[in-house]
């Protein structure tokens, strides 16, 4: 294969370093690229000049560095250059490429170019605009859910001190009814001084479940508030702190609703995304938000040729340790993939095997598989095995573009045999 010009770009927050190697691996250009239009256009002119001199465009290689590489990737791609984005784990393997111990941006840029020369890199995918938009929305929603949980925990901790027993009346202290009550009556003293009818009106207006439910809750709240006045802690700052926590939760829930509306609009407007999410929702245990997260994180299913590659991409592949005659037996998951996808798969696996009352679990076959695994393995290991099975199902559903069909293992084997003999 004819050697061509290769440019390595070491990306940082404010600027990046470009190093272009000749076919003989000598440094032709070193250029600092600030992330502004003037500097990026100057670098583009340099690359275009080299294209005229050598008769072909340089190939550019850069690390996937948070979000900082996206501007350069888009700019040079739109200018007609092939831009390869590599995983930082691959580029870090080149740190001992030279004997000298050096770690500078210029050295890193050259190493990225050399990484292309030795033909070992694998390109990281840059998602399409629609998938990237869905990914941003899903990740932002996940961050908001983390914030909501944190503020709920802080509110619960405070109520445990000033309002003992409140969590027995409202199991979700951040729920609609609970926030409405705390917004109007932030302390036990405020509840004690209020008529039960007024408390019931607040609860009924918040959740719309009717007068009987609201009256029952109000009676229990009144009794709990009277007891809390005798044993609970009291301070002058309690009302202000509770009001601030409830206000923050109101704001977070409003933002969450806005993100979910934007997600729904994007899904409806993009037929391919809508179709793939519908396919994922056909798998028992996967809801619409989990499906959106999984699809946003994996991107294009055609980039994966077999299920094991998708499992590795999600970080569900086991790590391996072997040296000489030693072979490690306590190997954990690599967890090198997307934590958002793993969280969604964890929830989907849990939903698929959980029983709801006396009814069967949504996926009884996976539930039986989980029970058998639990006889020899810890529960978390068995659940990870279920997540791995779910990954195989996701791969097959998206690859074949067919909804999930629940089959027993022997039925599935018979079905595959019929396909192979057809």
Secondary structure of residue 122 in the 3-state scheme: coil
In a domain, 125, yes or no: no
Together in a domain, 140 and 257: yes
* pLDDT of 65 above 50: yes
Give the pLDDT mean for 44-54. 89
Beta carbons of 222 and 191 less than 8 angstroms apart: yes
Q: Which of residues 261, 289, 309 is at a domain's end?
A: 261
Structural domain count, the chain: 3
Together in a domain, 308 and 385: yes
Together in a domain, 279 and 358: yes
* pLDDT of 114 above 50: yes
- Whole-number percent of the chain with pLDDT over 70: 86
> What mean pLDDT, rounded, does the chain reach?
84
Phi, psi of 20 (to 5 degrees): -105, 130
The better pLDDT of the pair 418, 346 is held by 346
Beta carbons of 62 and 73 less than 8 angstroms apart: yes
Q: Give the pLDDT of residue 291.
A: 94
**Taking CA 25 as the corner, what is the angle to CA 21 and CA 26, rounded to the nearest 5 degrees?**
75
* pLDDT of 251 above 90: yes
* pLDDT of 62 above 90: no
Together in a domain, 299 and 407: yes
In a domain, 362, yes or no: yes
Beta carbons of 277 and 290 less than 8 angstroms apart: no
Q: Give the pLDDT of residue 103.
A: 57
* pLDDT of 343 above 50: yes
**137 falls in which pLDDT band (50, 70, 90)?**
very high
Together in a domain, 53 and 146: no
In a domain, 127, yes or no: no
Give the pLDDT mean for 62-75. 81
Together in a domain, 29 and 110: yes
In a domain, 126, yes or no: no
Beta carbons of 181 and 203 less than 8 angstroms apart: yes
Together in a domain, 275 and 405: yes
Structural domain range at position 10: 6-117
**398 falls in which pLDDT band (50, 70, 90)?**
very high
Give the pLDDT mean for 177-195. 92
Domain CATH number, residue 187:
1.10.287.4070
**88 falls in which pLDDT band (50, 70, 90)?**
low
In a domain, 276, yes or no: yes
Together in a domain, 31 and 56: yes
Q: Which of residues 261, 290, 305 is at a domain's end?
A: 261
Cα–Cα distances in angstroms (integers) from residue 14 to residues 36, 107, 114, 192, in the given order: 9, 18, 24, 58
């Amino acid at each position: 294969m004819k050697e061509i010009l290769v440019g390595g770009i070491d990306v940082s927050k404010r600027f990046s370093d470009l190093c272009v190697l000749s076919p003989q691996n000598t440094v032709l250009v070193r250029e600092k690229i600030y992330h502004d239009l003037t500097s990026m256009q100057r670098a583009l002119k340099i690359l275009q000049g080299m294209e005229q001199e050598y008769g072909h465009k340089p190939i550019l290689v850069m690390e996937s560095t948070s979000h900082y590489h996206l501007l350069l990737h888009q700019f040079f791609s739109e200018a007609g250059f092939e831009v390869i984005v590599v995983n930082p784990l691959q580029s870090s393997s080149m740190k001992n490429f030279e004997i000298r111990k050096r770690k500078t941006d210029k050295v890193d840029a050259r190493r990225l170019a050399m990484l292309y020369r030795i033909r070992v890199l694998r390109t990281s995918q840059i998602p399409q605009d629609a998938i990237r938009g869905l990914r941003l929305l899903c990740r932002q929603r996940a961050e908001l859910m983390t914030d909501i949980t944190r503020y709920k925990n802080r509110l619960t901790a405070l109520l445990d001190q000033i309002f003992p027993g409140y969590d027995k009346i409202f199991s979700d202290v951040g729920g609609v009814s609970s926030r409405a009550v705390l917004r109007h009556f932030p302390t036990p003293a405020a509840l004690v001084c209020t008529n039960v009818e007024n408390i019931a009106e607040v609860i009924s207006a918040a959740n719309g479940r009717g007068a009987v439910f609201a009256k029952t809750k109000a009676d229990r709240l009144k009794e709990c508030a009277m007891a809390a006045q005798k044993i609970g802690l009291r301070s002058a700052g309690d009302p202000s702190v509770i009001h601030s926590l409830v206000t923050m939760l109101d704001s977070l829930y409003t933002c969450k609703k806005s993100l979910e509306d934007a997600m729904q609009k994007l899904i409806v407007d993009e037929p391919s995304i809508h179709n793939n999410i519908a396919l994922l929702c056909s798998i028992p245990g996967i809801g619409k938000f989990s499906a959106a997260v999984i699809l946003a994180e994996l991107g294009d299913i055609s980039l994966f040729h077999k299920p094991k590659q998708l499992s590795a991409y999600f970080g569900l592949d086991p790590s391996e340790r072997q040296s000489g005659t030693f072979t490690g037996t306590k190997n954990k998951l690599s967890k090198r993939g997307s934590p958002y996808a793993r969280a969604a798969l964890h929830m989907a696996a849990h939903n698929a095997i959980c029983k709801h009352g006396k009814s069967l679990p949504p996926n009884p076959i996976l539930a039986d598989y989980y029970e058998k695994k639990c006889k020899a393995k810890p529960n978390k290991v068995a659940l990870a095995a279920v997540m791995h099975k779910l990954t195989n199902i996701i791969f097959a559903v998206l690859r074949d573009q067919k909804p999930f069909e629940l089959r027993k293992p022997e039925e599935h084997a018979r079905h595959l045999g019929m396909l192979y003999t057809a």
